[in-house]
Amino acid sequence: MNILLPRPARPHRYRSRQRTSITRQINATLAQAIEAMQAGEFERAIRLAQSMVLLAPPRSFLRVEVLNTLGAAQMMSQAYADAYLTFSEAVQILPQDPYLWYNRGFASRYTMRFGQALLDFDQAVQLEGDTPAAAQYREAQQQAAYLAQRYLEMRKPGFTLEQLVQQEDLFQQAVQAMEADQWAQAEEQLRQVIWMSDNLPQPWCNLGVCMMVQGNVAGAERALVRALELKPDYEHARANLAVLRAMQQEGGPN
């Protein structure tokens, strides 16, 4: 019996055809996602793009295209925290692309990472150079510089841009932990935020909520009172403090 051994080129051709098929599938699905965005169907666009994330080869340009489409759909649906993570992965894969940094800059801004937004737009301007898009990038950079300076001035004297980036990221991590009911983790992160600069009411208010949920009523009251000291018209802190004191009157946990 004569057995034909497989030729080395055949598996290579098969893999190439397989990759071509995947690429076509991804491109076709991304086209549908873009059409969905244009029609205002942002959730559908997100689902379509997400379905292609696992198919796209890691650290490939094709994966960047998937992530960029997904991030755009998430931004349009106001899922800013998700968009920030999506664009963060994209810039790690293709850090020389100014458009990705520009998009991540807006995701940073809308997740209240004003220091990171400035760094992102700085990077976009530097990479873009002298092109028709450069003016648009510089405008975003100037707006980000204004906001970053404004938020730096809210901190203690000498607070640096690097510290602002770290503090804002810690705060967003705490918010995500609260959304996941990880109250002890969120409390620790908020304490770090406050330790870096005790000038902001929102971390104190969130800290109060974390302690209230965990049954630390006295600690929660101190935190909410501190939030109101920093911002007397802070309605969210005032409402939480009213709830807390009602719990105390009704014999709640202490």
CATH superfamily for domain 37-153: Tetratricopeptide repeat domain (1.25.40.10)
- pLDDT of 6: 41
Distances (CA, A) of 125 to 25, 120, 176, 197: 34, 9, 30, 30
- pLDDT of 11: 44
pLDDT at 92 over 60: yes
Both tokens assigned to 45: 């666009």
Domain residue ranges in the chain: 37-153, 161-249
pLDDT at 165 over 90: yes
Least confident among 21-25, 68-72, 82-86: 21-25
- pLDDT of 186: 98
Both tokens assigned to 216: 């630390």
Both tokens assigned to 135: 């003016």
Compute the distance between CA of residue 100 and CA of residue 162 in angstroms, rounded to an integer: 21
Per-residue model confidence as pLDDT tens digits over 178-237: 999 999 999 999 999 999 999 999 999 999 999 999 999 999 999 999 999 999 999 999
- pLDDT of 237: 96
pLDDT at 9 over 70: no
pLDDT at 2 over 70: no
- pLDDT of 140: 96
Residues 205, 240 contacting (CB under 8 angstroms): yes
- pLDDT of 17: 66
The CATH architecture one would assign to domain 161-249 is: Alpha Horseshoe (1.25)
